[in-house]
């Protein structure tokens, strides 16, 4: 595959994603970078995110509250998604490797990657007594 030119905007999008554990959406990244790059378009952010996902540099966590969310940490791990506020947290339990072995034993196959998400209420929403769908 031909090496892609890494523009300042492309590098900034990837760095903004790598420098947070927030699992941002394209819109969140756009808002974060717009002051630094006034001519940045939301379409540019989306196109670069799609390229990063296709190249394996970024993973899509899935759609949360209507927006696709992204993670630059491509190491195997799961996510916890708050159904109230949309917060996405990494789950790095060592038991996930055991789950891979269990799935392999059950299916006779080999697990080569995993996409696992848990949905519930985060600690902040629980403390605030929020119901599903309520936002801060």
> Taken in order 101, 102, 105, 109, is the CA torsion positive or negative?
negative
CA nearest neighbour of 84 among 105, 64, 56, 63: 64
The CATH number of the domain covering residues in 75-136: 3.30.1490.190
Domain boundaries, the chain: 1-73, 75-136
User: What's the pTM value of the predicted model, to 2 decimals?
Assistant: 0.83
Could you read off the pLDDT of 51-95 as tens digits, one per residue?
999 999 999 999 999 999 999 999 888 999 999 999 999 998 878
Tell me if the domain spanning 1-73 has CATH number 1.10.10.10. yes
């Amino acid at each position: 595959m031909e090496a892609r030119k890494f523009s300042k905007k492309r590098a900034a999008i990837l760095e903004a994603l790598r420098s947070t554990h927030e699992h941002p959406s394209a819109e969140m990244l756009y808002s974060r970078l717009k002051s630094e790059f006034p001519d940045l378009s939301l379409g540019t952010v989306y196109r670069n995110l799609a390229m990063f996902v296709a190249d394996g540099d970024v993973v899509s966590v899935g759609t949360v509250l209507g927006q696709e969310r992204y993670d630059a940490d491509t190491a195997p791990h799961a996510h916890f998604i708050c159904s109230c506020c949309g917060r996405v947290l990494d789950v790095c339990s060592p038991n996930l490797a055991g789950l891979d072995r269990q799935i392999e034993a059950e299916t006779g196959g080999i697990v080569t990657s995993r996409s696992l998400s848990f949905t519930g209420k985060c600690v902040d929403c629980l403390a605030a007594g929020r119901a599903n769908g309520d936002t801060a």
